[in-house]
């Protein structure tokens, strides 16, 4: 049985098998295979979501499934029922699960105890569906593969989104530069474990020079709200703006996983200039996740 629990657990070959199918799901939303016909899938979310929730609800339905949205606070999980018990109950009733939560170990435990295909829809450690989508979006827009290209991540380099980028860089073979203050760079342990051409710097300008993709994410990830004031102060300046884009290669793309906070991690004008790429990136969550789930149940 296949799960998508992290990009760490995926080979480059698996990533390519998924990415190769996305265009097919995008080309015709109505006439593609419906491998989930007769199944019921659940979304179990402990954190807010717009894109992930809607793209999975719509995508799973278009793959043939019935879908339940379970806010973790509304089920007994939110009152302390262990994840392994929740998993053993749901595993006897439904056919697949999409989970957004805090601890990576909870998604892994759910997969182990439920015995049903399980997707990580964001944890504190990784956001694998997002980064597979981003790579598809880059390759779709540029008409070429990401291998050998330079991706620069700007902002909080220690959160889930850059972590998934690190694993993608290691597995697919592109260069990843993380521009962040020292305290917001990924742990040396993660960098050593992943390998690949990944570098970290506080020098934003140098990191953007010669880049093919400038990418950012919120400075205050879900769960970090108590650190808001400190983060706004310490991450100030780690922003994508037009001057930074001018340092990148001609034709470089600007992407943001969204939601965007204008004037913080991205300048308002720069976001609008690159809105077509950024909102195509958001749309592509739908198509990419269909390819992910179809690969899982194949």
| Active site (annotated) includes residue 84 | no
Contact residues for 239 (Cβ-Cβ < 8 A; gap 6+)? 154, 155, 216, 263, 264, 265, 266, 267
Exposed e or buried b for every residue in 196-226, given b needs 16+ CB within 10 A? Answer: bebebbeebeebbbebbbbbbbbbbbbeeee
Residue 39 annotated among the catalytic residues of the structure: no
* Residue 106: its H or E element: helix 104-114
Q: Does 291 bind ligand NVA (CB under 6 A)?
A: no
Among ligand NVA, ligand CP, none, partner that 50 touches (CB below 5 to 8 angstroms by kind): ligand CP
Cβ closer to ligand CP: 11 or 280? 280
Least Å distance between CB 222 and ligand NVA?
Answer: 4
Whether the CB-CB separation of 165 and 186 falls below 8 Å is answered with: no
Partner whose footprint covers residue 288, from ligand CP, ligand NVA, none (CB < 5 to 8 Å by kind): none
Which range of residues in 23-31, 47-55, 111-119, 199-207 is near ligand CP by CB under 6 A?
47-55
Binding flag, residue 130, ligand CP (CB under 6 A): yes
With binding defined as CB under 6 A, does residue 133 bind ligand NVA? no
Nearer of residues 101 and 211 to ligand NVA, judged by Cβ: 101
Q: Which is nearer to ligand NVA, 11 or 50 (CB)?
A: 50
Task: Name 273's bridge partners.
Answer: none
Nearer to ligand NVA (CB atom), residue 97 or residue 129: 129
260 sits near ligand NVA (criterion: CB under 6 A): no
Phi and psi at residue 220, to the nearest 5°? -120, 95
User: Is 68 a residue that touches ligand NVA (CB under 6 A)?
Assistant: no
Measured CA to CA, the distance from residue 152 to residue 176 in angstroms comes to: 6
| Cβ-based nearer residue to ligand CP, 21 or 120 | 120
266 binds ligand NVA (CB under 6 A): no
Does 258 participate in binding ligand CP (rule CB under 6 A)?
yes
50 binds ligand CP (CB under 6 A): yes
The packing angle between helices 83-90 and 104-114, to 10°, is: 40
By CB under 6 A, tell whether 277 contacts ligand CP.
Answer: no
Size of the site for ligand NVA (CB under 6 A): 10
Listed ranges 10-18, 22-30, 46-54, 165-173: which one lies at the site for ligand CP (CB under 6 A): 46-54
200 alpha carbon, distance to own chain's centre:
20
Tell me: does residue 287 bind ligand CP (CB under 6 A): no
Q: How far apart are CA 103 and CA 106, in angstroms?
A: 5
Peptide bond into 259 cis (omega under 30): yes
Give dist(CA 92, CA 190) in Å, integer.
36
Is residue 292 within the footprint of ligand NVA (CB under 6 A)? no
Q: Does 106 bind ligand NVA (CB under 6 A)?
A: no
Record the tokens describing residue 55, joined without a space: 């793209």
Collapse the DSSP code of 222 into the 3-class scheme (helix H, G, I; strand E, B; otherwise coil) and give the result: coil
β-sheet bridge partners, residue 119: 4, 98
Active site residue ranges = 100, 127, 130, 217, 257, 285
Positions in the binding site for ligand CP (CB under 6 A)? 49-52, 122, 130, 257-258
| Residues at the site binding ligand NVA, with contacts judged by CB under 6 A | 122, 127, 159-161, 217-218, 221-222, 257
């Amino acid at each position: 049985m296949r799960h998508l629990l992290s990009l760490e657990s995926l080979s480059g070959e698996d990533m390519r098998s998924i990415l190769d199918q996305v265009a097919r799901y995008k080309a015709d939303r109505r006439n593609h295979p419906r491998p989930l016909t007769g199944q019921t899938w659940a979304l179990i979310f402990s954190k807010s979501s717009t894109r992930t929730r809607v793209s999975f609800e719509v995508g799973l339905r278009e793959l043939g499934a019935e879908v339940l949205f379970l806010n973790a606070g509304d089920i007994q999980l939110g009152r302390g029922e262990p994840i392994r018990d929740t998993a053993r109950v749901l595993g006897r009733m439904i056919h697949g699960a999409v989970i957004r939560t805090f601890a990576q170990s909870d998604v892994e435990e759910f997969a182990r105890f439920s015995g049903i295909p399980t997707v990580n829809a964001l944890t504190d450690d990784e956001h694998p569906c997002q980064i597979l989508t981003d790579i598809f979006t880059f390759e779709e827009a540029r008409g070429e593969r990401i291998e050998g290209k330079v991706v620069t991540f700007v902002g909080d380099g220690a959160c889930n989104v850059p972590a998934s980028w690190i694993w993608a860089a290691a597995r697919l073979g592109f260069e990843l530069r993380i521009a962040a203050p020292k305290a917001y760079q990924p742990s040396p342990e993660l960098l050593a474990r992943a390998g690949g051409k990944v570098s970290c710097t506080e020098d934003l300008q140098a990191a953007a020079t010669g880049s093919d993709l400038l990418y950012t994410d919120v400075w205050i990830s879900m769960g970090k709200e108590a650190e808001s004031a400190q983060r706004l102060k310490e991450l100030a300046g780690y922003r994508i703006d037009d001057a930074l884009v001018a340092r990148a290669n001609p034709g470089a793309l600007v992407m943001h996983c969204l939601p965007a906070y204008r004037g913080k991690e991205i300048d308002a004008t720069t976001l609008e200039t690159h809105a077509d790429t950024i909102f195509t990136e958001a749309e592509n969550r739908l198509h990419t996740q269909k390819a992910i789930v179809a690969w899982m149940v194949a």
